[in-house]
């Protein structure tokens, strides 16, 4: 599978959008080389706003820019973009539904070395809780490109979280991205795995392994966490023995919450592959951290097996 | 509009504020009344705006960063004709277009949602930057409170405004010297105010915030200053024009008795 970096393609897509639309403006809080807004800055210095290490002001400033007809993209690490600017997002942007895109970079545990202060385990939960907010978590680079193009044309607040690392391509090149739509990437008839972000490619690996053992696993990419097509989530779970959710986020308020709420009353067994109610920590590499937090394809396989075992008893 | 006419406007707005506070309901009387002259000058002398076309592209913008003083802005918008004057009777009623704090989605003429203190100035800066990008000459006016400037975000915005040379931005500090819990100097002193703004790279002037002639002069004068944002420190009296409420903390967000309501009204009608 081809690998792409979400940050890199985000920076390139922003640049492409900037070339086609003079109203695109980009705000940065001194992390442009990491968030890759540096690409936009180099070509459009006038439409790029370095806001210094001040996320709160950056976010409200973006609200002001949007009030003059600009499509404003704010950038920082996910933990700061959502945490340090929560009130600014809530009060100045979401109550009035302003056209500001909050881009959370190095989301989840992907900033492995920097530890708990820089790793976002709850960004999706807090953004989902705000009325009027759209919340997205792309599975790979291809979907990131499609999402960024789409949200630039959508008039309203959006939060999107991006991974720091190269991720395997899983989203079909010829598939249009529509806000709210879950995407079945592999069909199966025994178990359905709903995943997002880095966990989608891991779910596909798990499905392949299970196939060898005669277990048929459906994999659904739920990259829109809000809004989400609940009827489609329900349809995709029909006649399944069980449901697994897989996300690089706290088990509270993210995909696990979205799916269990969508399937409430169905009686279908669930297993969640997610970060327990705890903060991140430093590690020397990302994979080591994902193993520590039980976010691997083996963990998804274990979750599937535990549902199957339940039926064998 | 002449100075005398603007003085009359300020009295009318003050009376409307009192009517909106009404009897037996809490309302932000003090910090709205301290702004009556400044807001009158902005809406009826200084700002380019069109009540019949609130989204007119060439209008000046007004952001009330101290959003709890919404009553003064509602009074000015109603008086300008953005909505029928009768709407002010419905302030804060369930389903009203006039919320407890400014809401641009409900009230014609409101330019941004404020109320969580410290954020309006950043929004005003963003607007000023957006207008500059479009090579427009419209101005952005913003009012912050002297209690509000305890918010750290005010100073983040102050840095950004001077860094980006937002000379189309004019900010008033409503220095009424009282915050919700008491005198600013006692509760949490934000002084010295002028030197702080100077240090952040702003052009600083001061004015008597209740002297129409002086407010006009200072506003016209700062138009000529280029290359930096401008702040006008307006010395005001909280509760100004309401005899029993002047400099009284309780009327930050207080109730009026029937007698007080009548006293306030008769004082302003004369």
With both helix axes pointing from N to C terminus, report the angle between B152-163 and B119-133 in degrees, rounded to the nearest 10. Answer: 20
Chain B residues whose CB is inside 8 A of the A44 CB are none
- Give the CATH number for residue A285: 3.40.50.920
Same domain, A191 and A231: yes
Q: Which residues contact B146 (CB under 8 A, 6 or more apart)?
A: B173, B174, B175, B176, B177, B179, B184, B190, B193
Average pLDDT over every residue of B201-217: 98
Looking at the complex, does the CB of residue B126 fall below 8 Å from at least one CB of chain A?
yes
**pLDDT tens sequence across A30-41:** 999 999 999 999
> DSSP labels for A7-59?
HHHHHHHHHHHHHH-TTEEEEESS-HHHHSTHHHHHH-GGGEEE--S-HHHHH
Distances (CA, A) of A258 to A134, A223, A264, A275, B63: 13, 11, 10, 15, 37
Of A122, A145, A168, the residue that ends a domain is A168
> B85-122: per-residue pLDDT in tens?
999 999 999 999 999 999 999 999 999 999 999 999 99
CA distance B85 to A103: 43
By C-alpha distance, the chain A residue nearest B107 is A96
Going by C-alpha positions, the residue among A248, A241, A242 that lies closest to residue A223 is A248
Domain that holds residue A220: 183-308
Q: Please state the domain count of chain A.
A: 2
- pLDDT bucket at A311, cuts 50 / 70 / 90: confident
Average pLDDT of every residue of chain B: 97
Rg of chain B, C-alpha, whole Å? 17
List of chain B residues whose C-beta atoms are within 8 Å of the C-beta of residue A91: 113-116, 119
- Verify that A271 and A159 share a domain, yes or no: no
Question: Do A141 and A15 lie in a common domain?
Answer: yes
Residue A177 is assigned to a structural domain of this protein:
no
Contacts of A109 (CB under 8 A, 6+ apart): A119, A121, A248, A275, A280, A286, A289, A290, A293, A295
Pairing status of strand A158-161 against strand A100-105: parallel
Residues A193 and A226 in one domain: yes
Query: A41, A55, A122, A143: which one is catalytic?
Result: A55
Asked if A162 and A201 sit in the same domain, the reply is no
Domain assignment of residue A8, yes or no? yes
Q: Is the pLDDT of residue A28 over 70?
A: yes
Secondary structure class of A68 (helix, strand, coil): coil
Does any domain span residue A9? yes
Q: Do B133 and A63 touch (CB under 8 A)?
A: no
Note the pLDDT tens digit of each residue in B157-193: 999 999 999 999 999 999 999 999 999 999 999 999 9
H helices of chain A, in order, are: 6-20, 32-35, 38-43, 55-66, 78-83, 86-88, 123-128, 141-153, 198-212, 230-237, 255-262, 286-292, 297-312
CATH topology of domain B3-269: Rossmann fold (3.40.50)
Q: Which of A138, A168, A198 is the last residue of a domain?
A: A168
Is the Cβ–Cβ distance between A181 and A208 less than 8 Å?
no
Alpha-carbon gap, residue A241 to A119, rounded angstroms: 34
For B58-77, the pLDDT digits (tens) are: 999 999 999 999 999 999 99
Q: What is the ipTM metric for this complex? A: 0.97
CA distances from B161 to B75, B138, B198 (A): 29, 16, 12
What is the predicted pLDDT for the residue at A310?
Answer: 87
pTM for this entry? 0.97
User: Whole-angstrom Cα distance, residue A114 to residue A133?
Assistant: 28
Q: Give the model's pLDDT for residue B173.
A: 98
Ordered by start, the domain boundaries in chain B are: 3-269
**How many angstroms away from the CA of B101 is the closest CA of chain A?**
11
Residues of B in contact with A30 (CB under 8 A): none
A232 is catalytic: no
What is the mean pLDDT of the segment spanning A209-234? 98
CB contact under 8 A, B112 and A47: no
How far is A186 from B180, CA to CA, in rounded Å?
60
A17 with A142, same domain: the answer is: yes
* pLDDT of B270 above 80: no
Q: Are residues A17 and A157 in the same domain?
A: yes
- Nearest-CB residue to A70 (from B130, B152, B159): B130
Long-range own/partner contacts, residues B225-229 (CB < 8 A, 24 or more apart)? B225/B167, B226/B167, B227/B165, B227/B167, B228/B162, B228/B165, B228/B167, B228/B201, B228/B202, B228/B203, B229/B125, B229/B128, B229/B158, B229/B161, B229/B162, B229/B165, B229/B166, B229/B167, B229/B169, B229/B170, B229/B171, B229/B201, B229/B202, B229/B203
SS3 B34: coil
Rounded distance, CA B64 to CA A76, Å?
A: 28
Residues A132 and A157 sit within 8 Å (Cβ to Cβ): yes
On whether both A135 and A220 belong to a single domain, the answer is no
Q: Provide, as residue numbers in chain B, all residues whose Cβ is less than 8 Å from the Cβ of A46.
A: 133
Helix (H, G, I), strand (E, B) or coil at B235: strand
> How far is it, in rounded angstroms, from Cα B139 to Cα B62?
9
Across the interface, of B116, B124, B163, the residue whose CB is closest to A64 is B124
Q: Is A313 inside a domain boundary?
A: no
Judge if A57 and A91 occupy the same domain: yes
Q: Please count the residue pairs, one from chain A and one from chain B, whose beta carbons lie less than 8 angstroms apart.
A: 109
Domain boundary among A168, A200, A227: A168
B115 touches chain A (CB under 8 A): yes
3 state DSSP class of A254 = coil
pLDDT score of A235 more than 70: yes
Query: Which CATH number goes with the domain that contains A160?
Result: 3.40.50.970
Whether the Cβ atoms of residue A136 and residue A223 lie closer than 8 Å to each other: yes
Sole residue written with tokens 């809490």: B26
Residue B126 to residue A56, Cβ atoms within 8 A: no
pLDDT confidence of residue A313 = 72
Q: Sort strands A166-168 and A3-5 into parallel, antiparallel or unpaired.
A: antiparallel
List the A224-226 sheet strands across, edge first: A48-50, A24-28, A71-77, A100-105, A158-161, A134-136, A224-226
A82 located within any domain: yes
């Amino acid at each position: 599978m081809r690998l792409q970096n979400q940050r890199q393609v985000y920076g390139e897509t922003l640049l492409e959008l900037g070339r086609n639309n003079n109203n695109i403006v980009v705000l940065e809080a001194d992390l442009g080389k990491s968030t890759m807004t540096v690409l936009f800055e180099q070509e459009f210095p006038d439409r790029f706003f370095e806001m210094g290490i001040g996320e709160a002001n950056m976010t409200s400033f973006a609200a002001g820019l949007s009030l003059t007809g600009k499509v404003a993209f704010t950038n920082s690490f996910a933990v700061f973009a959502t945490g340090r600017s929560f009130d600014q997002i809530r009060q100045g942007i979401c109550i009035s539904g302003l056209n500001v895109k909050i881009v959370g970079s190095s989301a989840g545990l992907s900033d492995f070395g920097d530890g708990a202060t820089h790793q976002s385990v709850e960004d999706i939960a807090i953004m989902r809780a705000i009325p009027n907010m759209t919340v997205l978590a792309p599975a790979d680079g291809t979907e990131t490109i499609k999402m960024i193009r789409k949200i630039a044309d959508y008039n309203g607040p959006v939060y999107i979280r991006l991974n720091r690392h190269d991720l395997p391509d899983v989203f079909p090149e010829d598939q249009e991205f529509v806000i709210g739509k879950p995407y079945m990437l592999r069909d199966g008839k025994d178990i359905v795995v709903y995943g997002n972000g880095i966990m989608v490619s891991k779910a596909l690996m798990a499905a392949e392994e299970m196939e060898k053992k005669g277990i048929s696993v459906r994999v659904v990419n739920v990259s829109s966490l809000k809004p989400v097509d609940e009827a489609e989530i329900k349809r995709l779970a029909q006649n399944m023995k069980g449901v697994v959710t897989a996300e690089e986020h706290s088990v509270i308020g993210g995909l696990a919450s979205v799916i269990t709420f969508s399937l409430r009353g169905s009686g279908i067994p669930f297993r969640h592959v997610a970060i327990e109610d705890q903060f991140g920590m430093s590690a020397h590499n990302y994979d080591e951290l994902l193993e520590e937090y039980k976010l691997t394809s083996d963990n998804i396989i274990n979750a599937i097996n535990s549902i199957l075992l339940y039926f064998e008893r | 509009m002449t100075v005398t006419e603007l003085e009359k406007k300020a009295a009318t707005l003050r009376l409307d504020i009192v009517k909106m506070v009404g009897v037996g309901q809490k309302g932000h009387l003090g910090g709205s009344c301290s702004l009556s002259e400044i807001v009158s000058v902005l809406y009826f002398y200084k700002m380019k705006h069109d009540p019949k076309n609130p989204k007119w592209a060439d209008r000046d913008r007004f952001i009330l960063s101290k959003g709890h003083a919404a009553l003064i802005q509602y009074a000015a918008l109603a008086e300008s004709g953005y909505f029928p004057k009768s709407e002010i009777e419905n302030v804060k009623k369930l389903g009203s277009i006039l919320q407890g704090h400014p809401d641009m989605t409900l009230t014609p003429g409101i330019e941004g949602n404020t109320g969580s203190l410290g954020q309006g100035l950043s929004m005003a800066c963003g607007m000023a930057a957006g207008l500059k990008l479009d090579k427009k000459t419209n101005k952005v006016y913003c009012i912050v409170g002297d209690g509000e400037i305890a918010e750290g975000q005010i100073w983040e915005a102050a840095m950004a405004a001077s860094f980006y040379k937002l000379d189309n931005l004019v900010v008033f500090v409503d220095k009424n010297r009282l915050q919700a819990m008491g005198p600013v100097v006692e509760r949490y002193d934000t002084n010295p105010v002028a030197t702080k703004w100077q240090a952040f790279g702003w052009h600083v002037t001061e004015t008597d915030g209740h002297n129409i002639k002086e407010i006009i002069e200072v506003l016209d004068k700062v138009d000529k200053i280029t290359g930096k944002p401008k702040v006008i420190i307006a010395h005001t009296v909280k509760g100004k024009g309401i005899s029993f409420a002047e400099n009284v903390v309780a009327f930050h967000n207080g109730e009026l008795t029937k007698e007080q309501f009548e006293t306030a009204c008769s004082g302003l009608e004369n």
